[in-house]
Amino acid sequence: MKTSAGILAFRVTNEVEVFLVHPGGPFFKNKDEGVWSIPKGEYTGNEEAFLAAKREFLEETGHELQGTFFELETVKQKGGKEVKAWAIEQEIDTSRFVSNTFNVEWPPRSGRFQTFREVDKAEWFTLPVAKLKINIAQAAFLDQLATHLSGRLPVSNVVG
């Protein structure tokens, strides 16, 4: 079974906002709702999940996270992949994100390989908007974050 690890960064302004990334490359170019994700990636059994999550965040955004993290419950995506995640309150400048790249044969069976950014956009979204944008299985991370924050925020700022 494939496993991924990622980090859900959030900030509290007038509302709770979460930091999501849009997958790069040709497959998701014209897709929006349901394809955004927390910065995450696969890891092997030789790597600690939390360290993999921090590494993936850095590779996909160019930002190294420091601070206090809290673990979220693992979710299983539609294809069977399990995603482990941690959350951290952090301010991230989306204009300064930098993503690693990957090569893929494109167009398919053309014999030509092209290089694409793994992430082509990074944005902050309020929880209600994030619920529309994020991969449906990962929406559980948003619910967990809302529950975690419900004790410290007015109820109107938290979506469950």
- Of residues 28, 37, 30, the one with CA closest to residue 116: 28
Map out the domains of the chain as residue ranges.
Answer: 3-157
pLDDT tens digits, 97-147: 999 999 999 999 999 999 999 999 999 999 999 999 999 999 999 999 999
At a CB cut-off of 8 Å and minimum separation 6, what does 134 contact? 20, 34, 36, 37, 38, 141, 142
pLDDT of residue 150: 85
Class of domain 3-157: alpha beta
Average pLDDT, the chain: 91
Residue with tokens 């979460």: 18
For the entire predicted model, the pTM comes to 0.91
| Amino acid symbol at 77 | Q
97: its two tokens: 């994100």
